[in-house]
Amino acid sequence: MDLNDMMRYGNLGVVIISIIMIAVSGIFFGFAYFLMDSTQTAFEANDCVIEGNDIVSSCQDLWELSLYPFLEMKTILIWLSFFFVFTLTLAMLLLGYQTGFKPPMLGLLVIAELLITYGSLYIGNIYRTMIENVILRDIMIPFTVYNKVMLNFPWFVFIVSLFSIALGIVNWQRTRTNSSTGDLDY
């Protein structure tokens, strides 16, 4: 789903979808990381002898050539989670800036951001309840940035909303330059 597809929902729809995607993305990446780590541990625990093969002599040699390089890429998921949160935050800020072109939309954004910040209290509490489970906490330990964002999710949403609204106000009040006013035409 690219930004143009999301724009059919409107700016507020994109902000709401971005908040939900931030909340869901880390859990998805966490489960993918946990699955890859469990798979690698299971393969490392087993071994077999391959006879009559000149390239590999055991299953571990075969898996080192074929499977382990893929499973070692699991650390990329941690970086993807970080950049996903960063990208969606940047998109929310840019959409706040775009609402400055239309003052009624800016007013609607202020009201919607208040409701979204209130809703983020629930999302943050759901996440805190979820990580009380030992298994889910173990899954989410490698994702420190995501955990920091989600444990402080209402504050995170409030600060991003505040800057989004500020960018919208700045865009609304900015001085119009490079446009002909008629006064300076000689």
State pLDDT tens for residues 113-153: 888 889 899 999 999 999 999 999 999 999 888 899 999 99
Tell how far CA 186 is from the center of its chain. 53
CB-based contacts of 143, cutoff 8 Å, min separation 6: 26, 29, 30, 33, 78, 81
Q: For residue 127, give the 3-state DSSP assignment.
A: helix
Residue 3 domain flag: no
d(CA 97, CA 161): 11
Domain containing 121 equals 9-44+74-173
State how many domains the chain has: 1
The pLDDT value given to residue 185: 55
Strand partners of residue 58? 49
Residue 49 domain flag: no
Residue 37 domain flag: yes
Residue 69 domain flag: no
Least confident of 7-16, 47-56, 108-117: 7-16
d(CA 25, CA 153): 14
Choose among 84, 103, 109: nearest CA to 163. Answer: 109
Residue 107 domain flag: yes
- Cβ atoms of 19 and 120 closer than 8 Å: yes
- Answer whether 0.85 is exceeded by the pTM: no
Residues 87-111 have a mean pLDDT of 82
CB-based contacts of 82, cutoff 8 Å, min separation 6: 145, 146
